[in-house]
Amino acid sequence: MTEEKLSTFTAPKGTYDLLPPSSATFLAIREALAAPLRRAGYGYIETPVFEDLKLFSRGVGESTDIVTKEMFSLTKRGKEDLALRPEGTASVVRATLQANLHKLGNLPVKLWYSGSFYRYERPQAGRYRQFSQVGAEAIGAEDPALDAELIILADDSFRALGLRDYTLLINSLGDKQCRPVYRAALQEFLTGLDLDEDTRRRAEINPLRVLDDKREAVQAQLTDAPRLRDFLCEDCKVYDEQVRELLTAAGVAFTDDPKLVRGLDYYTRTTFEFVHNGLGAQSAIGGGGRYDGLSEMLGGPALPSVGWGLGVDRTYLAMEAEGIVLDLPGTTAVYAVALGEQAKNVLFAKVVELRRAGVATDLAFGVKGIKNAMKSADRSGARWALVAGDRDLADGVVQLKDMTTGEQTPVALDALVTTLKEKQQ
Ligand code: HAM
């Protein structure tokens, strides 16, 4: 029998493990990004991480990078008909239509979600193949106040986390009246440029996407490109103006970015992106916009809608870049160290009792000397250590050590839970 050498495994390329202590910050960020939504009438929705592949090709757009290059498709019984979700909007609209949420009560249907998304991108700092978003969708209403509400909520989330060094970019992509006219004008302009084969093809299928080309040689040729702003119909212009006025009134600063087209095809009218100034190339910490035609593209009725997705991984990096450290409560308040077999049993029972009373408590497991056990107590970050040997127990006490001052006092065993509960307040 040949012995196969056991190799160790590492996380797949473009993914990473979330480990303590940074995982606690990650969870707190997720929580903070969602908190303003809960206060604004958004209900929680969870959809599967895989869906019918066609949901994304139809919803996100046949010619987008996300669909053509980055989708993780799943092959089952020789058929590629499912895909890991690259984003959340198409799934949320699908679920809304499937459950008829738009017929059940008031419109808009307001939903929020939090989860992992998958894109087969070339990994780099801030760009992963599995990443985490908190998202919000308001489905079935055309109202500039709704666009403004969502943008303000995203801004509030970032601010609540302490972020300041970011810019909100905003643009209007027009609607089905004015966008086709602009599209034709842009296409004509692009035919006159010196573009490579791939870009030329993109100009034919989706000319707006060319505006988003990051290469300098392409950007240099786009300075005189026609601007969508100049083609907006009256309705779109008024709508856009109203969103901006509401943002200004709420004290949310923004910058016009006529080239902001975003990487998904469903957008109409308001589009926006929050860009952090300390992140390098992958600087978008969140983005979204209005998608008035998506429901119809998925076979549903007309449901004008707006939403956003905020990147949890990049928000984490942005906070790091700004040197923001969240003041998170310690995970362990009390750490118990037993000296001897009998003491261990008594302390274990006390630990169970303390936890049931709501005091976060840990215990030195395994056979450890007092020195090592106290080191563990120190590392746990606990404010209090409980130390008990057989002699203490014979006296009916445990030693309570204040880990910040080093002061140690005996506490009666039966008064332990109340004493620690009081100290915790
Ligand atoms: P998105 O702009 O593709 O929009 O993604 C939203 C955010 O997710 C980005 O701003 C970024 O922070 C994060 N993100 C995207 N790709 C990656 C990646 N590969 N690695 C790390 N973070 C990433 C959407 O997904 C739309 N569904 C947003 C939306 C909702 N629009 C309307 N409703």
Span 188-193, average pLDDT: 92
Å from CA of 251 to ligand 1 middle: 25
For CA atoms 286, 290, 294, 300, the dihedral sign is positive
Do 282 and 274 contact (CB within 8 A), yes or no?
no
In this structure, are 359 and 223 located in the same domain?
no
Q: Is residue 8 part of a domain?
A: no
Inform me whether the pLDDT recorded for 394 exceeds 70: yes
- The verdict on 193 and 208 lying in the same domain is yes
Is residue 143 located within the same domain as residue 244?
yes
Residue 3: pLDDT above 80?
no
For residues 159 and 63, state if they share a domain: yes
Determine whether 69 is exposed, middle or buried from the number of CB atoms within 10 Å of its CB (0-12, 13-18, 19+). exposed
User: Between 98 and 198, where is the model more confident?
Assistant: 98
Parallel, antiparallel, or unpaired: how do β-strands 166-172 and 50-52 relate?
A: unpaired
Question: Does any domain span residue 9?
Answer: no
- Is residue 167 domain-shared with residue 192, that is, in the same domain? no
Q: Which of the listed residues 65, 87, 110, 111 should we mutate to test ligand 1's pocket, taking the one with most ligand atoms within 8 A of CB? A: 87
Q: Per the domain annotation, does 7 fall within a domain?
A: no
Asked if 83 and 130 sit in the same domain, the reply is: yes
Tokens of 69: 């290059």
Residue 417: pLDDT above 90? yes
Residue pair 315/292 in contact (Cβ under 8 Å)? The answer is no
**Residue 403 confidence (pLDDT) above 60:** yes
The confidence score (pLDDT) of residue 265 equals 86
Residues within a 6 A CB radius of ligand 1: 87-89, 119, 121, 126-128, 131, 133, 135, 137, 263-264, 284-289, 291, 307-309, 311, 313-314
pLDDT-above-70 percentage for the chain? 99
Number of domains in the chain: 3
pLDDT band at 329 (very low <50, low <70, confident <90, very high): confident
* 100 φ/ψ angles, rounded to the nearest 5 degrees: 55, 35
Q: Do 238 and 97 fall into the same domain?
A: yes
Mean pLDDT for 51-76 is: 90
- The string of DSSP letters for 237-305 reads HHHHHHHHHHHHHTT---EE-TT---S-TT-EEEEEEEEETTSTT--EEEEEEE-TTHHHHTT-----E
Residue 287 Cα to ligand 1 middle (Å): 6
Residue 140: give its domain's CATH number.
Answer: 3.30.930.10
Are 224 and 276 in the same domain?
no
Confidence bin at 4 (pLDDT 50/70/90): low
Residue 197 in domain: yes
Q: How far apart are CA 274 and CA 164, in angstroms?
A: 11
Print the domain residue range for 215. 180-228
Whether 77 and 133 share a structural domain: yes
Given 269, 299, 321, which residue is the final one in a domain? 321
Q: Is 109 helix (H, G, I), strand (E, B) or coil?
A: strand
Domain membership of residue 30 (yes or no) is yes
In this structure, are 257 and 368 located in the same domain? no
Residue closest by Cα to atom 8 of ligand 1: 311
Q: Check which CATH number belongs to the domain holding 341 and give it.
A: 3.40.50.800
* pLDDT attached to residue 368: 75
How many Å apart are CA 139 and CA 97, to the nearest integer? 10
For the chain, the average pLDDT equals 94
Kindly state the average pLDDT of the residues 399-412.
96
Residues 93-118 have a mean pLDDT of 96
- The ligand 1 atom at the shortest distance from the C-alpha of residue 119 is 19
Question: Does 284 share its domain with 373?
Answer: no
Q: What is the predicted pLDDT for the residue at 359?
A: 95
Q: Does 352 map to a domain?
A: yes
| One-letter amino acid of 289 | G
CA of 49 to the centre of ligand 1 (A): 15
pLDDT, tens only, 344-385: 999 999 999 999 999 999 999 987 789 999 999 999 999 999
Q: Is the pLDDT of residue 1 over 70?
A: no
6 belongs to a structural domain: no
Task: Check if the beta carbon of residue 121 is closer than 8 Å to that of residue 285.
Answer: no
Following DSSP, what letter does each residue of 358-386 receive, concatenated?
Answer: T--EEE--SS--HHHHHHHHHHTT-SEEE
pTM value > 0.75: yes
Give residue 345's identity as a one-letter amino acid code: N
Distance 8 CA to ligand 1 centre (A): 32
**Residue 345 vs residues 337, 340, 349: alpha-carbon distances, Å:** 11, 9, 6
pLDDT category of residue 415 using cuts at 50, 70 and 90: very high
Question: Ligand 1: which atom is nearest the Cα of residue 311?
Answer: 12
Q: Are residues 352 and 397 in the same domain?
A: yes
Mean pLDDT of 294-299: 96
Q: Which candidate, 263, 372, 384, places its Cα nearest to that of 334?
A: 384
pLDDT confidence tier of residue 2, bands split at 50, 70 and 90? low
Is 113 inside a domain boundary? yes
Ligand 1 nearest atom to the CA of residue 291, by list position: 32
CA angle centred on 303, ends 297 and 304, rounded to 5°: 100
Q: Which of 1-5, 102-106, 251-255, 260-264 has the highest mean pLDDT?
A: 251-255
